[in-house]
Chains A and B, each alone.
Chain A
Amino acid sequence: MSTWISNFYHRNGTALSIFLLLSVLFWVFILIVLPQLFMMDFSFRHNLPPADIGGAKDVYTLENYQYMIYGSAQSEGSYNTVDLTVFARTLIAAIFVTLFDLAICYPIAFYLAHSAYGGAARLMVLSLIVPFWVNEILRAFAFRIMFGATGVINNFLIWAGILDQPYDFIRNDVALYAGLGYAFILLMIFPIYNTVESLDRNQIEAARDLGSPWWRIHWRVVIPYAKPGITSGCTMVFMLTAGALAAPQILGGPSSLWFTQIIYQWFNTGNNWPQGSAYAIILLATCIAFVLIMMKVFKVKLGEIAR
């Protein structure tokens, strides 16, 4: 350790050493590690008025986590069905949104990497990026306009005679899923594109020459090769969907909640920060577990996921 420090000092000189060490220590401890630990600590405490914090009543408790499972202490024996349902629905919906994005992005990524050339390919990449420079809120707003009761889609369906009453896309969460799928397309396409692009075309040619139909080429050659990209894209999309707040707030129906919205409410109107912290920890733990499972099942490294 001390040899490392002297080497480090020798290699960088005084000013640079101090800059590097201070920046990295500040980032790692003050911004990343300590806030998470404080949040963890906070989630095990009672919700006390400011005067009591640090006093005799400020002891550790599991009640915030118990609340997630059993609801308030009065209703013992029964489960907190509202929050548990929201939690489960958030995860299941996030999985479906991820699969939907994978299904529409894989062909596009493959097409971009192997069928489009030169200017056309560059134009396509540019036009993929442009919508994602537009604010997340505005994107959700666009979906709200489209799917509204007098929106373009309803008007078209009525005009075409498919519907005679406007269909409430927002109440039925269609708008929400379409908007969430839309929001993270780019994060699915680019990892897949990056891996597929480096695939040697000769491998595809060889498979074709040996008489393989196109779907088997994809199944046996392209997809195994693109696995790190697919894993990376799926992980990012799942995490961002499960942790999304803006789209569910704007596009969610009045009766449907996203798990992040419950967290938001504990902080905002519920005024119960420890409870909110406990829920945030649950969300964080779920996401960590998901990443670990993805890394284990698909045998990729963390560095390949976060790119």
Chain B
Amino acid sequence: MRSETFLKISVGAFVAAFFAYLFGPLIIMSLTAFNSSQFPRVTPWECFSVEWFDVLINDAKLMNGLRNSLVIGFGVILIAVPMGMAGALMLTQVGRRVRPWYYTIVISPILVPGVVLGISTLIFWDRMGRMFNAGYDSIFYDGIFLTILGQATFISAYAMLVFIARLQRFDPAQEEAALDLGATHVQTFRKVLLPFMKPAIGSAAVLAFLASFENYNTTVFTILSDETLTTVLASKVRYGINPSISALAVIIVSLTLVGAVVYEILKRREQAAAKESELVARGKVEKRRRQSPLFLDPAMIVAVLVFIAGTGTVYFAGTIGLEECKAAVLAEKRAKTERAIKERQTKEMFRQAAPTTPDPYAPAVEEAPKVEAKGTEGYRSIFAPSTLEGMAGQESEEQKENVEAKGTEGYRSIFDPGNLKGQAGTEEKKP
């Protein structure tokens, strides 16, 4: 019996630890979005602020990437969902000997690494463009077009799996009945098969959009000189991080939570409706007229109110008294720095005054690296707020440079030139 309880406790602890691993990073990242510190961190906590959301919205590059991501997402839906459906329908119709080969080919994009898909798409259309002697401004070198195709390659396979799962429950007799009753093939498809596939079309579209929206590995090769949200994010995260990215994460996490809550409510309503219709069928209760519309559902109203109240509270808490708090933190930092300087000065005085020191330069040499380290460490040093500003300035300059370089180098240098450093490093190491 005791071993049983021990087992139970350890299982509980394991599950708890697992979910801590799952949510811990996201929670900490979300918290950093509300800290006024220039570097995303939780400790030391400075001021509760929502200014990083402002920074985020005013980031033109990020917003441009977001626009492109949305365009690509819808493009992928338009291509991948019909293509996935065609693929699934075809699977039910190809001969038995062809089927394994066909299935292997259309399923392979899921297993092939994303970078390989991106590279092959890039090369294929580059060669096509060359074959037709197309200029670099033609569609063969259009980043958004290539990205839609590259992503559709594997997202169609996801969509196909969704449709296959749905088709397995389809009774072909329905189709035959419609044909026997004189419907044409097109009518049968539109009136029998499509309505049956409707839920699968919806979920395939959502899946396709999400997969496209967060794809990086394929996109980074096919996007050429354009940018999507993920490629902008990746370059930002690599070349210097600031909490406005955490703010974006907060927005995405909240959207996800909202989506999850809505999904849960929809599922509950579906179950309730199924239960009721079952009871009606048994004649136990009278049929109610209709379910209330979704936005009048009590659970939905509560969820919306909680969301609005939460956002409002956070907004006010993050703006009221922010300036005073920041000033206080700054003053504290100054005082700390001054104290440190004074301490050092007194130490220095003691040392210089001390007769035991044979060489007056020795302590200075010893002291020098420390001072320097503070300067270069930048964000690590909490004593020097001015260094932080310097860092931020440098970063934006670097980004400007990136943009310029991209403009001049044409389509071949699509990728971030900032990677040069890493490349140089490896080149040196090679024999």
Q: Is B260's CB within 8 Å of the partner chain A? A: yes
Q: Contact at B93–A146, with CB atoms within 8 Å? A: no
Chain B contact residues (Cβ within 8 angstroms of A): what range?
A: 35 or more
Assess whether A265 is in contact with B419, with CB atoms less than 8 Å apart.
Answer: yes
Residues 279-307 of chain A: 1 if any B CB is under 8 Å from the residue's CB, otherwise 0? 01001100100010000000000110111
Q: Are B116 and A265 in contact (CB-based, < 8 A)?
A: no
The reply on A138 being an interface residue by CB < 8 A is yes
Flag if A145 contacts B32 (CB, 8 Å): yes
Residues 1-38 of A, flagged 1 when their CB comes within 8 A of B and 0 if not, give: 00010001001111110011001101110011111101
Say whether, besides A23-B82, A284-B112, A267 and B185 are in contact (CB < 8 Å).
Answer: no
Q: Which residues of chain B from 380 to 431 have any CB-CB distance to chain A below 8 Å in the complex?
A: 380, 412-417, 419-420, 422-423, 425-426, 429-431
- Chain A residue numbers with a CB within 8 Å of B256 are 130, 133-134
Within 8 A of B (CB), among A130-164: 130-131, 133-146, 148-152, 155
A98 sits at the interface (CB 8 A): no
A72, B234: Cβ atoms under 8 Å? no
Contact partners of A47 in chain B: CB under 8 A: none
Chain B residue with the shortest CB-CB distance to A31: B153
Q: Is the CB of B233 within 8 A of A138?
A: yes
Q: Using CB atoms, name the residue of chain B closest to A303.
A: B103
Residue among A20, A42, A235, A268 with most chain B CB within 10 A: A268
A104 at the interface (CB under 8 A from B): yes
A267 x B415 contact (CB < 8 A): yes
Interface residue from B18, B110, B114, B153 paired with A104 (Cβ < 8 Å)? B18
Which of chain B's residues have a CB closer than 8 A to the CB of A302?
103-104, 107
- B73 in the interface, Cβ–Cβ < 8 Å? no
Q: Which of A56-81 contact B (CB under 8 A)?
A: 71-72, 75, 78, 80-81
A229 in the interface, Cβ–Cβ < 8 Å?
A: no
In angstroms, Cα B416 to Cα A250, docked, is: 14
Q: Does A244 contact B (CB under 8 A)?
A: yes
- Bound CA span A140–B379, Å: 20
Once bound together, how far apart are the Cα atoms of A13 and B121, in whole Å? 33
Provide the bound-state CA to CA distance between A225 and B249, in Å: 39
Identity of the chain B residue whose Cβ is nearest the Cβ of A145 in the assembled complex:
B40
Tell me whether A271 is interfacial, beta carbon within 8 Å: yes
Are the C-beta atoms of A260 and B115 separated by less than 8 Å? Answer: yes
Q: Enumerate B226-245 residues with CB–CB distance to A below 8 Å.
A: 229-230, 233-234, 237-238, 241, 245
In the bound complex, what is the Cα–Cα distance between A305 and B25 (angstroms)?
30
Q: If the complex has contacts A39-B123, A127-B22, are A20 and B184 also in contact, measured as CB distance less than 8 A? A: no
**CB atoms of B430 and A82 under 8 A apart:** yes
Decide if B49 is an interface residue (CB 8 Å cutoff): no
CB distance from A126 to the nearest CB of B (A): 5
Q: Are A31 and B149 in contact (CB under 8 A)?
A: yes
Which chain A positions have C-beta within 8 A of B29? Answer: 138, 141-142, 145
Which chain A positions have C-beta within 8 A of B237?
137, 140-141, 144, 250
**Do residues A78 and B419 form an inter-chain contact, with CB atoms below 8 A?**
no
A167 contacts chain B at the CB level, 8 A cutoff = no
Contact yes or no, B186 A32, CB < 8 A: no
- Assuming A31-B149, A130-B256, A246-B216, what are 9 further A-B pairs, CB within 8 angstroms? A12-B189, A13-B186, A31-B153, A83-B430, A122-B264, A135-B214, A138-B249, A240-B113, A280-B120
Q: List 27 A-B contacts (CB under 8 A).
A: A13-B184, A20-B93, A23-B83, A24-B86, A32-B109, A36-B120, A82-B429, A122-B264, A126-B264, A127-B19, A129-B260, A135-B229, A138-B233, A138-B249, A141-B29, A141-B249, A143-B25, A144-B237, A145-B32, A145-B41, A145-B246, A150-B380, A182-B21, A182-B25, A240-B113, A246-B230, A291-B111
Binding site for A on B (CB under 8 A): 7, 11, 14-15, 18-19, 21-26, 28-29, 32, 39-43, 82-83, 86-87, 89-90, 93, 95, 102-117, 119-124, 127, 130, 149, 152-153, 156-157, 161, 184-186, 189, 210, 213-214, 216-217, 220-221, 229-230, 233-234, 237-238, 241, 245-246, 248-249, 252-253, 256-257, 259-260, 263-264, 379-380, 412-417, 419-420, 422-423, 425-426, 429-431
